[in-house]
Structure 1
Amino acid sequence: MDVPELLGRAACHVPVVAAGEAGTTVADANEYLDHDEWEIALDILVELGDAYRTETAFWDLLAEAARMMWLSRTERWCHWRRAEVVHGVVRADLQLVDPGVAGGRRTPIPGDGRLRPLWDMGAVTAAGDPDLSVARLWVESLPDLQPGGRAVVRLAPLSPQRWRRLVPGDVITMHEQRPVAGTATIVESAFSVDEDHHL
């Protein structure tokens, strides 16, 4: 399939009544497709996919189109959103510790899901040590998160079932070494009831 066909098939997954934050609809995406404005059509479809309940096939089509257009960040986002359809969404307000404090980062966190820090959710091992969990981190609305900065982030746990007990308001800590690197307050936790349903 070429890019226009991939985007056209993805557009077929979007309800006519769905609207993005800017009021755009699938009709707008199709109009840009008709004028060979593929990147704009892709951006609209991604926005629409974030505005309504999607299926994995939708994100697979968009990811492949983004790959063919060499839009690596958009491709990573589509793969990220596909995983959220299957496993659920965890969003948190993350405050990094100051770079001058032990555990503080001195370089920005890349915003596109490459960082896989450890998270302390309060569980302990049989020996009484913190039982940390791994989750990749995506920074919303920013290309990266500066040292000491604050942003809403999305988390992709390596073991999603361990995160199901989290609810909005829960506080967890981020670790890259032993000292705390950041503190996050959960703002959304919505897990798939049946992870096979969306495959």
Structure 2
Amino acid sequence: MPDPANLLLKAARLCSADVRTEFGADVVGYVAHDEWEMALVLLQELGDVQPCPPAFWTLLADVARLLWLESDVVWYEWRRSEASAGAFLAELSLHDGGRATAIPPGRLLRPMWDIGLPTGEFAIAGLWVEGRVALEPGRCARVRLVPLTPEYWGHLVPGDVVTMHETRVAAGSARIVQVVPPVPMAS
């Protein structure tokens, strides 16, 4: 069975040197006192403020799995996908009549998106609703999108609007707020 302490220290080493210097002692201290969940929380916070490679998020998911933190496992695996493929942060408005049920937060969907491809084809991207409240039809929420084929999404910039489809009828519209590039693999 892998040792959570070793996995946490490996993840800390994947942080940039300036962040590692600033927070590294705290992570090492928590690990030394077997406070693995606190070390995990601190590392997640570090990953939220600086780009971390996919391996970082994989290590955090492995630790969360060992600590039986299943919702954290799902979140860290999502973040690994973002680090690998890049992501788009957006404001999604669900159209009335386009979708019958709410989208729960922390649940992955893979709808089709009209992103303005010259061929008229749709592209697929994973959708993650941020926060703790379900996104109801007719409402708006902040979402994260991870494209299945990132090369199709490269033309999008903040302010662009893409349309979500689950059937022929448009289910919603998302305005891109931020483009998050993929993170290079750690060497």
**Interval containing the TM-score (normalised by the shorter chain):** 0.7 to 0.9
Give 1:137 shift. Answer: 0.6
Name the CA shift for 1:91/1:64 in 2 (closer, same or farther; >3 Å).
same
1:171-186 counterparts in 2 under 5 A? 171-186=161-176
Quick one: which of 143, 166, 169 aligns to 1:153?
Answer: 143
| Corresponding residue of 1:105 | 100
In structure 1, C-alpha distance between the alignment counterparts of 2:92 and 2:158, rounded to whole Å = 13
Q: How many residues align?
A: 184
8 Å Cα contact 2:87-2:147 kept in structure 1: no
In structure 2, C-alpha distance between the alignment counterparts of 1:71 and 1:151, rounded to whole Å = 25
SS of the equivalent of 2:137 reads coil
Gaps of 5+ in 1: none
| Corresponding residue of 1:131 | 121
8 Å Cα contact 1:29-1:45 kept in structure 2: yes
Structure 1 counterpart of 2:38, one-letter code = I
Structure 1 segments (4+ residues) deviating >4 Å: none
In structure 2, C-alpha distance between the alignment counterparts of 1:66 and 1:90, rounded to whole Å = 25
Q: Which moved more, 1:79-88 or 1:151-160?
A: 79-88
| Corresponding residue of 1:57 | 55
Identity of aligned residues (%): 45
Taking structure 2 as the reference length, what is the TM-score of the superposition?
0.85
Gaps of 5+ in 2: none
| Corresponding residue of 2:111 | 117
8 Å Cα contact 2:128-2:144 kept in structure 1: yes
8 Å Cα contact 1:135-1:156 kept in structure 2: yes
| Corresponding residue of 1:66 | 64
SS of the equivalent of 2:91 reads strand
Give 1:124 shift. Answer: 5.3
In structure 1, C-alpha distance between the alignment counterparts of 2:135 and 2:33, rounded to whole Å = 36
| Corresponding residue of 2:8 | 7
Give 1:172 shift. Answer: 0.7
